[in-house]
Structure 1
Amino acid sequence: MPYLQFDTDFEILDAAAAGFERAVAELYAEQMDADTSYTAVAIRDDLSIHLGRAEDERTVVLKADIRRGRTDERKRNLALAIMDLVAASFNVPAENQKVVFTEHDGNQMMGSDRVGEDWSETE
């Protein structure tokens, strides 16, 4: 039941946002061995963002709230794959991107029909 929040310092048109959000959900499911039905993706655009190493170009920060249990390697692979998707979709250089993971116990992530469970490789 991840919640992936993208903050950008540039505007993203609704049609581009919808396609990007679906692509992120699919990428998350693939990389994190999950299902897209509970994946939430949001874009908050045209914000003021400061990222120390960023050049004077577009900037994107992803805050990824995920269930605890994935390996560092799995999280790193997801972060790099998402950075590649952001670069291809919105022409944002890698040095102008940041991904921050916050991990939660499964029961801290809830939908109207269920309370999440802890994630495990055998899920």
Structure 2
Amino acid sequence: MPHIQLDAPGPYPVAAKRDLARRIGRLFAEIMQTTPDLVDVTFRELGEGGLWRCGDGEPAPAAVLSCEIRRGRPPEQRARLADALVDACVEALGLDPLRLTVEFTQHAGDEVFRKVVVDGVLRGGLGRDWTEAETTTPLIESLTTAKRAGG
């Protein structure tokens, strides 16, 4: 975690998606005070007519960014991330910022399982909630240290 999923009316070139994924990872790490190696990005290219924004008139083509994140960050921080992600998607894919919604789902850290290599051995474990300590010690490093200590 985090898992950032973009539902959009694609298709988009692989290079554009790779570049945007890199940018999303860096933005997430910078704004959410963590490291980009935790970020997974999914592009769901629904095609023309695959996602609609409803309103008073006719539905209009739209896009949605779903952000599955660990809990612990204030709303203002999440709002800064949402704004930066919208800007990145608009610039990279030409999406309409008025029809791009960002949704956050927050999870306890222990709802995420990941494997890491500890002293040459593949070990798995549950994550942790985000804390400010992650700004100086990456989560993977602290989990590796805990596994090394028998945790």
TM over 0.5: yes
Partner secondary structure for residue 95 of structure 1: helix
Matches within 5 A, 1:31-46: 31-46=31-46
* Alignment-mate amino acid for residue 49 of structure 1: L
Question: CA offset at residue 55 of structure 1?
Answer: 7.6
Q: 1:80 aligns with which of 60, 76, 83?
A: 83
Over residues 40-86 of structure 1, what are the superposed CA-to-partner deviations in whole Å (9 max), with x where a residue is unaligned? 111011340012259855x3211110000110000000000110111
Following the alignment from structure 1 to structure 2, what is the Cα–Cα distance between the partners of residues 21 and 110? 21
TM-score (norm 1): 0.90
Task: Output the TM-score relative to the length of structure 2.
Answer: 0.75
Number of residue pairs the alignment of both structures matches = 122
Could you list the runs of 5+ residues in structure 1 that have no partner in the other structure? none
Matches within 5 A, 1:1-123: 1-47=1-47, 48-52=50-54, 56=60, 59-113=62-116, 114-123=125-134
Measure the CA separation in 2 of the matches of 1:78 and 1:55: 27
Report SS of the residue matched to 2:130. Answer: coil
8 Å contact from structure 2 (residues 4, 66) kept in 1:
yes
Give 5+ residue unaligned stretches, structure 2.
Answer: 117-124, 135-151
- Between structure 1 and structure 2, the one with the greater Rg is 2
Give secondary structure in 2 for the equivalent of 1:63: strand
Structure number with greater CO (CA < 8 Å, separation at least 6) is: 1
* RMSD of aligned Cα (Å): 1.7
Among the aligned pairs, what percent are the same residue?
29
